[in-house]
Amino acid sequence: MGSEIFLYGYGIICFSMIVFNIIYNIIMDAKDHKLREDIEKYDMIIKGVLDDIREGRKAPKKHYRRIEKLLSTTMGLMTFEAAVDRHLEFENEAAVEYLISMGPILIKTAKKYLKRENLQAAYFAYFIGDEKFNGHIPKDELQEILIEYAAKDSFYCRVNAMRALYTFGDAWAIADAVTICDRNDAFFHAKVLQDGLLTYRGDSDELISILWKRFNSYKESTQIAIMNYIRFESDKYTDNMLDIMTNEEKGKELRLSAIRYLGKYPDERAREQLVAFVKDTEPANWEYAAVGASALAKYDGSDIVDVLIEAAHSLNWHVRNNAATSLKAKGIGYSQVEERVKDDKYADEILRYRLKEEYIAEEAV
């Protein structure tokens, strides 16, 4: 009896879920149909305004009041975006002039959505970050508003606000937003900030300079993101990275990031410390040895080759693998290392694997 009740109950739940999905799909289809209708409607309305602009006439004020009302809902934002995109594709000059005339309304709308609940605010930040608005809205005022969006307690709102700033913000505005997000523990992972910074369209040297001046005030996760960003964008920070790499009071991830930087932009002053990292056989320090082994790929000298061959004997796979990869980058063939690793199964195995092309070529000869 108990099992029958359970099955009946389970059946009712399944039936309820099916009914819910049917109703949900009906509602979504209705919304999609309404959205398509609205897009067609505003497509024609905007077309009429663009005709006026092309003929030297200004759009009537009632049109802007109508659009302002449309933009008060997220569905309206979608409608406006889709309708405008159609005309931007084919009627560039008039459509661009139209967007410029929309600037005051978009600023006003941005202030309204700032007071909305987080999901709506996040969607507006996403909407306004589109490339089509770049250069067509009063920049300074919009940047100030977006910085406020970045301060909200919604991850999606912060990410979308930062995305908009990366698209058309200046270096100071982005740095201010980063500072606010850092203060509010907004970045749940350094890569979120790092990847965002890499999309910045402006002067990366200026942005890096500002961020570096504030560097010590940031939390470690933000510092790591900034260091990684610098590694991709600038070769002018070797002194700073040397200081971090050799400072044992700095966090491990910061020092590893500095090692990676000095691997990409070799500096002879880093050689001795990098060699020391790779030679360190303490199991707890394997990450320093592994990243150091990768960094040595761009450092010349027979002593570096010797250090890498020795590292191929490491008990840690990552150290062995990175050492072998660096040897390959230096053009070392298997025959040059065979005698020194043949008695170590694991060292021989990783070097055969990583240097396999050279090994096969040598065997063929």
- Quote helix, strand, coil % in the chain, to nearest 5: 80, 0, 20
Percent of the chain with pLDDT over 90: 58
Return mean pLDDT, the chain: 87
User: In terms of pLDDT, which residue wins out, 314 or 34?
Assistant: 314
CB 96 within 8 A of CB 88: yes
In this predicted structure, what is the pLDDT of residue 17?
56
pLDDT digit string (tens) for 66-76?
Answer: 999 999 999 99
Confidence of residue 9 (pLDDT cuts 50, 70, 90): low
In this predicted structure, what is the pLDDT of residue 271?
96
In this predicted structure, what is the pLDDT of residue 34?
77
Model pTM score: 0.83
CB 171 within 8 A of CB 229: no
List of residues 6+ apart from 275 with CB closer than 8 A = 292, 296, 303, 304, 307
pLDDT(358) > 60: no
pLDDT(188) > 60: no
Mean pLDDT for 302-319 is 95
Confidence of residue 205 (pLDDT cuts 50, 70, 90): very high
pLDDT(14) > 70: no
Residue 268: CB atoms within 10 Å: 9
The structure tokens listed for 353 are 């694997």
